[in-house]
Amino acid sequence: MKIIFEKFWILFLLFIFAGGLMARLYKVDNPVADWHSWRQGDTASVTRIYLERGVDLLHPRYHDLSQLQSGLPNPEGWRFVEFPIYNLLHVYLVNTFPQYSLEIWGRLLSIFFSLISTGLIFLIGRRFLGTIGGLLSAFFFAFLPYNIFFSRVILPEPAAVTFALTSLYLFSLWFDTNRKSWLFLAGFAFSLGLLIKPYVIFYSVPMFWLAIKKSDGDMKKLITNFDLWIFALIALLPVGLWRAWISQFPEGIPYYKWAFNFMGIRFRPAFWRWIFGERLGDLILGVWGLFPFLAGVLARGLKSETWFVHSFILGMFLYVTVVAAANVRHDYYQTLIVPAVVLMLARGVIYLWNTKELAQPLTRFVTIFSVFLALYLSFNDIKPFYQINHPEIIRAGTALDKIAAKDALVVAPYNGDTAFLYQTKRSGWPIQQLPIEDLVKLGADYYVSVDINDPGTFDALKKFEVALQEDDFIIIDLSKKRM
């Protein structure tokens, strides 16, 4: 069996790629109204505005004009979060192949990055766990239901993971060959990952482990390695310049300090429950996947360099610990830990399959059964993420798009969720933080609501005329006052 996998690994890898692609095409035409649609809408709206007004990488905008994100008025709709590499590629695809919608191309772009990451996971796994380890790692990355969903969403995370894994693989090539070109290319790839998602800085932990090993544990030799300083400069300078640039636009920078330890959540019971119980244990590993995962953590007898996987897991533990509140509150933040998790899963499966310390036939059966059950149970938890729970926001957005001017400003209250505002294809306010008269003074042209009994809707309805009303939504023309 081992000889077959090692001899025909390319065929197994192609099967993984094909299966991973097919799995990610499930509901690829979903509107931006499924799980985490607010964050997907924010990302997609940057692309939409680029398409309408032209690409300006240094001045990304989105539809939300409220002060909800930064606490400051944001009349220009600045969106200074990730450097818009993802959006640049998104715009190119929509313009080049207009037969598909902006939403489909956003999902396909994430899928493309995910498939690249699958190949990189194989290469990294093959380097540190052998060919079978690489194939198993790629298999888990391609077919974990959690990762399937979060690698076909319109979010920058799949791109950030791809660039971070590219850097990690190139760094391992430098470790093996001592070629400076690999190291400097690793720095460049890492800089792109950091520009998209600064939290990939924790991928530097396994890099640091490799650097220590290459220096034979001599810290003086490590610190005086001039090439590593150049690597760090290449990686960190672009994100440093970006952060300096965006500091001029505080109204466009969402408040982020909450992400680290809001309300002292770190290491409290809720932290352990949500990160290691609900997310890692349930959503990602489907409970039963903990068996091979923990076997990978505890296994002995593999090549000494597999401590690389442990260093990767350590980096991800530091990530969820430092960025504790965001990881507790939002499940898409764990997208970054999946590569380390699948490598450890592969390590565990290899150990369980080969161990002679336990009853081998039974151990192998339990391992296969655990993997199958983990995928099945995880899928049951992830399946609701694909559902469109509030189709009325799509109908209301479509109706408003037919009657409103392209430059009209819209009030679309939805508890601050920008998914509804995105459906209108207009800039405006996803929450009514000011009286309706003040919003009209700021330029609001329409008030659209899917909650007719909401006090804000009732107030607007008393003062302005209805443009269109259906059973599940109402559009109010703010340019026409009631007499």
Rounded-to-integer distance, Cα 34 and Cα 388, Å: 5
Residues 365, 313 share a domain: yes
Residue 98 has pLDDT above 60, yes or no: yes
Provide the token pair at 345. Answer: 């899963």
Residues 409, 375 share a domain: no
Residues 253, 327 share a domain: yes
Residues 242, 196 share a domain: yes
* Residues 322-346: tens digit of each pLDDT: 999 999 999 999 999 999 999 999 9
Residues 340, 239 share a domain: yes
* Residues 40-49: tens digit of each pLDDT: 999 999 999 9
Residue 156 has pLDDT above 90, yes or no: yes
**Does residue 303 fall inside a structural domain?**
yes
Residue 103 has pLDDT above 60, yes or no: yes
**Does residue 470 fall inside a structural domain?**
yes
Specify the pLDDT at position 50.
97
Provide the token pair at 482. Answer: 């009631």
Geometric angle at alpha carbon 368, from 364 and 370, rounded to 5°: 115
**Does residue 44 fall inside a structural domain?**
no
Query: Who contacts 375 (Cβ-Cβ below 8 Å, separation ≥6)?
Result: 143, 144, 145, 286
Domain interval for residue 461: 392-481
* Residues 361-370: tens digit of each pLDDT: 899 999 999 9
Place 32 in a pLDDT band, splitting at 50, 70 and 90.
very high
The answer to whether 111 touches 84, Cβ cutoff 8 Å, is: no
* Residues 376-409: tens digit of each pLDDT: 999 999 999 999 989 999 999 999 999 999 999 9
Query: Phi-psi region for residue 89, left (φ > 0), alpha (ψ -120 to 50) or beta?
Result: alpha
Residues 411, 381 share a domain: no
Place 291 in a pLDDT band, splitting at 50, 70 and 90.
very high
What's the number of domains the chain is made of?
A: 2
Place 216 in a pLDDT band, splitting at 50, 70 and 90.
confident
Specify the pLDDT at position 10.
87
Residue 39 has pLDDT above 60, yes or no: yes
User: At which of 332, 355, 385 does a domain end?
Assistant: 385
Specify the pLDDT at position 5.
63
Residues 439, 373 share a domain: no
Q: In 3D, which of 59, 93, 96, 95 has the Cα closest to residue 78?
A: 59
Rounded-to-integer distance, Cα 370 and Cα 289, Å: 6
- Lowest-confidence range among 5-19, 64-78, 300-314, 432-446? 300-314
Give the pLDDT mean for 296-303: 76
The answer to whether 44 touches 33, Cβ cutoff 8 Å, is: no
Distance of CA 202 to the CA centre of its chain: 15
* Residues 418-444: tens digit of each pLDDT: 999 999 999 999 998 889 999 999 999
Q: In this structure, is the dihedral angle defined by the CA atoms of residues 82, 84, 90 and 93, taken in order, positive or negative?
A: negative
**Does residue 50 fall inside a structural domain?**
no
**Does residue 75 fall inside a structural domain?**
no
Measured CA to CA in angstroms, residue 460 lies from 63, 78, 139, 405, 453 at distances of: 22, 27, 54, 20, 11
Residues 413, 380 share a domain: no
Number of other residues whose CB lies within 10 A of the CB of residue 59: 16
Residues 241, 110 share a domain: yes
**Does residue 322 fall inside a structural domain?**
yes
The answer to whether 64 touches 421, Cβ cutoff 8 Å, is: yes
- Lowest-confidence range among 5-19, 80-94, 225-239? 5-19
Specify the pLDDT at position 306.
65
Specify the pLDDT at position 107.
97
Geometric angle at alpha carbon 368, from 365 and 374, rounded to 5°: 135
**Does residue 136 fall inside a structural domain?**
yes
Residues 399, 373 share a domain: no
**Does residue 431 fall inside a structural domain?**
yes
Specify the pLDDT at position 454.
86
User: At which of 333, 354, 385 does a domain end?
Assistant: 385
Place 76 in a pLDDT band, splitting at 50, 70 and 90.
very high
Residue 303 has pLDDT above 80, yes or no: no
Model pTM score:
0.94
Place 82 in a pLDDT band, splitting at 50, 70 and 90.
very high
User: At which of 352, 385, 418 does a domain end?
Assistant: 385
Residues 252, 124 share a domain: yes
Residues 432, 332 share a domain: no
Geometric angle at alpha carbon 190, from 189 and 192, rounded to 5°: 65
Question: Looking at residue 101, what DSSP letter applies?
Answer: -
Rounded-to-integer distance, Cα 10 and Cα 341, Å: 23
Specify the pLDDT at position 168.
98
